[in-house]
A and B are shown apart, each in its own frame.
Chain A
Amino acid sequence: DSGVTQTPKHLITATGQRVTLRCSPRSGDLSVYWYQQSLDQGLQFLIQYYNGEERAKGNILERFSAQQFPDLHSELNLSSLELGDSALYFCASSVVGTGNDYGYTFGSGTRLTVV
């Protein structure tokens, strides 16, 4: 157990639907990162939150949004789902979340299948 909890582990949904993925960071970590891993692809950075505020944004689609709550858990919302959104979605957390803090802790991921 890495200390980063992602729920659900698996999700199957239809095109056009909306889903919410949840991440609880490791105790004491203030920063949360979301990554997407599609088939045969590396981990693509989506978005970072630090202590409730957005800090960095990657190639995140407009149909996707995220937030970090006061208790530091984070949710990734995916809407108007398309078949191409099927992927593994990973959450990671780190203590500080700046360029001087390296080596995240990853959760085990949520596998999203859009049918």
Chain B
Amino acid sequence: DQQVKQNSPSLSVQEGRISILNCDYTNSMFDYFLWYKKYPAEGPTFLISISSIKDKNEDGRFTVFLNKSAKHLSLHIVPSQPGDSAVYFCAASARDNTGKLIFGQGTTLQVKP
């Protein structure tokens, strides 16, 4: 049962354009959502997060949008840079007094110069 889904395995965009990565979830108990970025041969690194009480969180070039009614979140990167090329994972946390995160399968972003 995949509770967090990233339906696009890959995405290719031109440098300077917007990258939009999507994520859907099924568990209504999730109350916190995060995006991680992973380069080859490294562990994932935290990028940005959003609480379920908000619908938008912005940090520099990165913005995460949350649509609770649709159980959908997206990560916008504007403008995209070649250094953004990586695998992006969305993750969700439930109100269960643990810190465990449920991850999606990841989307590989390629930003072309």
Give A contacts to B, CB under 8 Å: 2, 4, 31, 33, 35, 40-45, 48, 55-56, 58, 90, 92, 94, 96-99, 101-109
Contact = CB atoms under 8 A, between A and B. Distances in A.
B36 to A, nearest CB: 8
Nearest to B41: A108
Interface residues of B, number: 30
A19 to B, nearest CB: 19
Given A42-B104, A45-B102, A99 B96 contact: yes
A32 to B, nearest CB: 10
A2 B69 CA distance: 36
B56 to A, nearest CB: 17
Contact of B93 (A58, A102, A105, A109): A102
B97 A92 contact: no
A42 B100 contact: no
Contacts of B97: 98-99
Contacts of B9: 40
Contact of B46 (A40, A101, A103): A103
Contact of B34 (A41, A58, A90, A102): A102
Nearest to A91: B43
